[in-house]
A and B are shown apart, each in its own frame.
Chain A
Amino acid sequence: MVQTIDIEVVLNLIIFAMFFTIASTELMAASAIIFKYKESEKKVFKFLIPIWEVTGTFFVFYVVNLEGLMPDVLPLLAYSFISYILILLILYVLRNTLIISAENLWKRKNRIINRRLLYSAYAIVTFVLGAMIVMIYAAFIGGHGLNFNAETFNLISFITFLPDDGFIIGIAILFFGLAAVYYGLDVNPFLPFIVTTMGMLLSGISIFEMGDTNNSTLFIIPIIFTLSIPLLWMFNKTKNIAENKLVFQGLLSISIFFLAYSQYPYLLGKNLLITSVLNNSAMQTQMFYATLIGGAILLVLTYFFFDIYFGNSQNENQEPIAEGEN
């Protein structure tokens, strides 16, 4: 049986899925930049350059929605992760600074600070950011290292619980595998499927072992949807479907949504019942309406974005170029 879910939580999980999908395009870009920089210049930057500014906005979108959904959880988050949050913020500002500098570098031939160095630094910072976000998420799922009453987080306790590490490493491997598909990198067609399957096995077993899973039957959806991406990419006839950004992101969003849903209604290794910390009904109602109206505006904007993005790709077959490059 699958637990019925509150509509406000559904909206929050949808926003989380959207945020993580967009963020994952950056994580995949980061691995491509580190391992295949030359190819990235042609295939990755085309999509990364217009999208990276939106990722941060979606992060804020998720955080504010979470504040509105479960305000009582905030003190726990603030006290437990204060050090990590502040480091995360510094890295976030650094990430923006690095990529905007890389885009607009005025001396392209500078031997010390050049575009490749800046993009590589951006990629490393993005990796660390991704790992930290997944770490906080994993800590909230499993509760290892988190002391709910003392509002503290013990990193050693977290790390020494192997499924926590397995989850983070598994996610990293999974997106490493998917990167080749998303950006159409020149690799063996079987490789993404093998790597993605490995990542999925590791992260899947880990999340199950983390002890929060309540709707295990839902796992089947992320497994099928996520694996279908590299599977479609293996064959010439279906390769284009997997490389289609909308299809890819759609499948990934649905997978993330159901993966998160599989844990509902618990957090912290079944020690915290989500429904017991939801906001008051008056606020929930207003948040719901605001999400519907704002979501409609967002859908229209997203439609315009993809319309122009694909139109530009087909008409001119060239990447959007930052002004500094001209």
Chain B
Amino acid sequence: MNNIAITFENKKNNVLSIYFTAGYPKLTDTIKILEILQDAGADMVEIGMPFSDPLADGPVIQNSSTVALKNGMSIQELFDQLHGMRTKITMPVILMGYYNPVFKYGVENFCKSAAKVGIDGLIIPDLPIDEYLANKPIFDKYGLCNILLITPQTTDERIKQIDNIASGFIYAVSSYATTGSGKALNLSAQYFEKLKNTAFNNPVMIGFGIKDKATFDNACQYANGAIIGTEFIKLLEKYGADKTKITEFIKGVKGNDQ
């Protein structure tokens, strides 16, 4: 069974996933941050593969990508860094990034390298459904889940289609916004109710606009868990890969649910 499925099997609620950009703030921080997050109690992580033109991201994550690229991060460098991570990291690790670098690396090549270092799933937001389905045999061959996004504007029919072909979990974007825009959650009550009342095949994680215990707890009432990205990048921007600060942050979000 895939590592992501096992996580949701063992824990149905309050699953906390953290997003951070590979090679940020320093090139060599990737593994260090992974280890700190696991020790602090994060349930899974999404490692962002930096891209020059991140369409769906707001200024905070854009900036982290720019810095990471300047630091020398690349897909090859990331695979080199992740080599051997499974001796220490047991939680699910997902790679998230835009399609062009994956396409350039070669989809099969990419999946092969990802599986080899122990990656469990992929989030490629700009991979169209048709091209995803065309490549699905490759993703399946290497045991990689494909997490697909839905938004408040995704029609019921399309949600059903996405739920049928996605694996791992459904990434429910909490509002129509780029990452870190801060306007999430205000407009979402109705949408969250809909998420709660829809019978999904996959677990659902809410992302965009989750930044602290209150927003995390709120999102967890309607889904299996939630994802924090921008707020965590802001912390890294301020303190670097600081074990104490990161641990404080994760424990603060999770509260008593350790």
- The answer to whether A and B belong to the same complex is no
B interface, CB within 8 angstroms of A = none
